[in-house]
A and B are shown apart, each in its own frame.
Chain A
Amino acid sequence: MLSKRIIPCLDVRDGKTTKGVKFKGNVDIGDPVEMGKFYYEEGADEIVFYDITASSDKRDIMLDVVRRVAKEIFIPFSVGGGIRTVEDMRSVLLAGAEKVSVNSAAVKNPEIIAKGSKAFGSQCIVLGMDVKRVKASDTIPTGYEMVINGGRTYTGIDALKWAKEAEGLGAGEICLNSIDADGTQDGYELTLTSLISENVNIPVIASGGAGSIDHIHEVLTRGRADAALVASIIHYETCSIREIKDALHTRGVKVRMTW
């Protein structure tokens, strides 16, 4: 059977990573290529590079990062942040990424999912979802609303409805980020994660809130996620990928144990 995936996420701004202050050894903390390689060798099953570069005229810096990463790591990696058009997708995939994730741009223009999956295959297209808990209403029956622009803008779109629509348009995977849980290290949003995962037939990567191995365990079991995105917990060395996988394996979760 498929293993549950552990996926480190690296935020990249102007070609430099923004987290990872406590790296041991000779790893250049600021270099996404070095950090990607480090996690590849540590047993990551996939890596997400998220471009938080503000200005779009610096896009080429990210493409250069992607090209250099592709020469060093031989597991799938995806690139998100600032992807607005099918041409943006094409550049990132040609540079060597396995997958590309779209977030705000897909909410504003859902056609990009259909066009992207037609051009490159569904398996390349990850739908990034930023979600906030709100009061349930007629328009937001689940009480989970899609937000965009880093959580600042409410869209009036129900998260579950959007997930299903995006699946229908050809999204191959969902990266589901709870804005409420993000950065708290209090655990993933389990209700949201299981709600989405049980109602779509594409893999769901849970994101936001990992502070301990217990949190990762519960989102992969009770939360029914196919994969867990991890950031601070490994960047700040609360635990290593090996420790996460050892613990999950001991508790009966199937994870890839050799690399």
Chain B
Amino acid sequence: MIAIIDYKAGNLKSVERALNKLGYPCCITNDKAKILDSERIVFPGVGAAGKAIDDLKRMGLDRVLSQAFQEGKPILGICLGAQIILDRSEENHTPCLGLMEGEVKRFPSPLLSFENEQLKIPHMGWNSVRVLKKHPVLPGIMPGDEFYFVHSYYPLPDSEDHVIGKTDYSIEFPTIIGVKNLIATQFHLEKSGRAGLRILKNFCNWNGVYAE
């Protein structure tokens, strides 16, 4: 069973639908025992970092996530779930979960393109990812594949070792990050068509082992 962490943060249902489509049993839950019993964890989220962290703490899910991470359970963060696994966020200076060392940054403003045009924030729409490292969730992903993004902040791990893929939006920023049994994408796997579903499927078959 795959546990989708329920902390009232947005795109839970769409992740559930994608997993159902792929044929993997899953449940949306905030039950600690159920989460710790699960085979793997999906940690989605949209919205503001501060509120998400508050909700997680209030439900005690911050400790559950840390414990599951320590135990080696495969964990997948999506969008906000790829941000608040870091130490802290610039979004209202929020302390975060600290599963990976680093900070969540806001896009600089104004953000200018190569042609000196002002780019729109949030970064919303389809963009490609430059894959820097092999990872067990990435087989089947081709160089031209694009993914669906909606965000104004991005994750910046302290160590380049944890950056698996980057995306260019005038600046190049990390969009796939991972350490040990934790992998996370800034883009929405559940809204990125075939390529997104492929990563989701690979995650569902991953044993959580990743040698950096």
Q: Which of A2, A98, A256 contacts B169 (CB 8 A)?
A: A2
Q: Is the CB of B144 within 8 A of A257?
A: yes
Instruction: Tell whether A201 pairs with B127 under 8 Å between CB atoms, given A76-B148, A258-B146, A258-B195.
Output: no
B142 touching A123, Cβ below 8 Å? no
Binding site secondary structure of chain A: loop
Say yes or no: is A3 at the interface (Cβ < 8 Å to chain B).
yes
Q: Is the CB of B46 within 8 A of A201?
A: no
Q: Which of B25-33, B66-74, B117-125, B178-186 contacts A (4 or more CB under 8 A)?
A: B117-125
Contacts of A3 in B (CB 8 A): 125-127, 146
Q: Assuming A1-B127, A74-B18, A256-B126, is B146 touching A98 (CB within 8 A)?
A: no
27 A-B contacts (beta carbon < 8 Å): A2-B123, A2-B126, A2-B127, A2-B169, A3-B126, A5-B125, A45-B125, A45-B126, A71-B17, A71-B21, A74-B21, A74-B190, A74-B191, A74-B192, A74-B193, A75-B191, A76-B148, A94-B13, A96-B13, A96-B17, A121-B46, A123-B46, A172-B122, A202-B120, A256-B146, A258-B142, A258-B195
Asked if B165 lies at the interface with its beta carbon under 8 angstroms from chain A, I say: no
A49 touches B (CB below 8 Å): no
B57 close to A (CB within 8 Å): no
Given contacts A2-B126, A226-B120, A257-B144, 8 further A-B contacts (CB under 8 A): A2-B127, A71-B20, A74-B192, A121-B46, A121-B47, A227-B125, A256-B126, A259-B193
B197 at the binding interface (Cβ < 8 Å): yes
- A40 on the B face (CB < 8 A): yes
> Separation in Å of the A143 CB from the closest CB of chain B?
25
Please tell me if the beta carbons of B120 and A75 are within 8 angstroms of each other in the complex.
no
Q: For A40, list chain B residues within 8 Å (CB).
A: 193
Tell me, yes or no, whether A219 is within 8 Å of chain B by CB: no
With known contacts A121-B46, A121-B47, A96–B126 Cβ distance under 8 A: no
A226 to B120 alpha-carbon distance, docked (Å): 10
**Does the CB pair B192–A75 fall under 8 Å?**
yes
Contacts of B126 in A (CB 8 A): 2-3, 5, 45, 256
Chain B residues 140-195 with CB under 8 Å of chain A are 142, 144-146, 148, 150, 168-170, 190-195
Instruction: Decide if B113 is an interface residue (CB 8 Å cutoff).
Output: yes
Q: Which of A75, A227, A258 contacts B145 (CB 8 A)?
A: A258
Q: Is the CB of A203 within 8 A of B120?
A: yes
Query: Are A123 and B17 touching (Cβ within 8 A)?
Result: no
**A150 shortest CB reach to chain B, Å:** 28
Q: Is A127 positioned at the interface, with any CB of B under 8 Å from its CB?
A: no
What class of interface size applies to chain B in its complex with A? 35 or more
Q: Which residue of A lies closest to B120 (CB)?
A: A201
A70 at the interface (CB under 8 A from B): yes
CA distance A201 to B196 in the complex (A): 28
Task: Please name all residues of chain B whose beta carbon is closer than 8 Å to the beta carbon of A226 when the two chains form the complex.
Answer: 120, 125
Residue of A5, A74, A256 with most chain B CB atoms under a 10 A cut-off: A74
Q: Which residue of B lies closest to A3 (CB)?
A: B126
B144: chain A residues within 8 A (beta carbon): 257-258
B-facing mask of A221-259, CB < 8 A → 1, else 0?
000001100000000000000000000000000001111
Contact A1:B193 (CB < 8 A) given known A71-B17, A76-B148: no
What's the Cα separation between A5 and B47 when bound, in Å?
24
8 A Cβ contacts from A64-123 to B: 70-72, 74-76, 94, 96, 98, 121-123
Once the chains bind, are B146 and A123 in contact (CB under 8 Å)? no
Of A2, A5, A45, A76, the most chain B CB neighbours within 10 A belong to: A2
Give Cα distance in the complex from A70 to B195, angstroms.
Answer: 17
Q: For the complex, give the distance between the alpha carbons of A72 and B194 in Å.
A: 12
The contact string, 1 if C-beta is below 8 Å from chain A, for chain B 1-41, is 00000000010011001101100000000000000000000
Could you tell me if A203 and B124 are in contact, using CB atoms closer than 8 angstroms?
A: yes
How long is the Cα–Cα vector from A240 to B104 in the complex, in angstroms? 41
Q: Return B118 CB to nearest CB of chain A, in Å.
A: 7
Whose C-beta in chain A lies nearest to the C-beta of B188?
A76
Task: Give Cα A96 to B21, complex, Å.
Answer: 14
Closest to A4 in B: B125
Contacts of A201 in B (CB 8 A): 118, 120-121
- Could you say which residues of chain A place their CB within 8 Å of the CB of B127? 1-3
- Alpha-carbon separation in the docked complex, A5 to B192 (Å): 13
Residue of A nearest to B114 (CB): A1
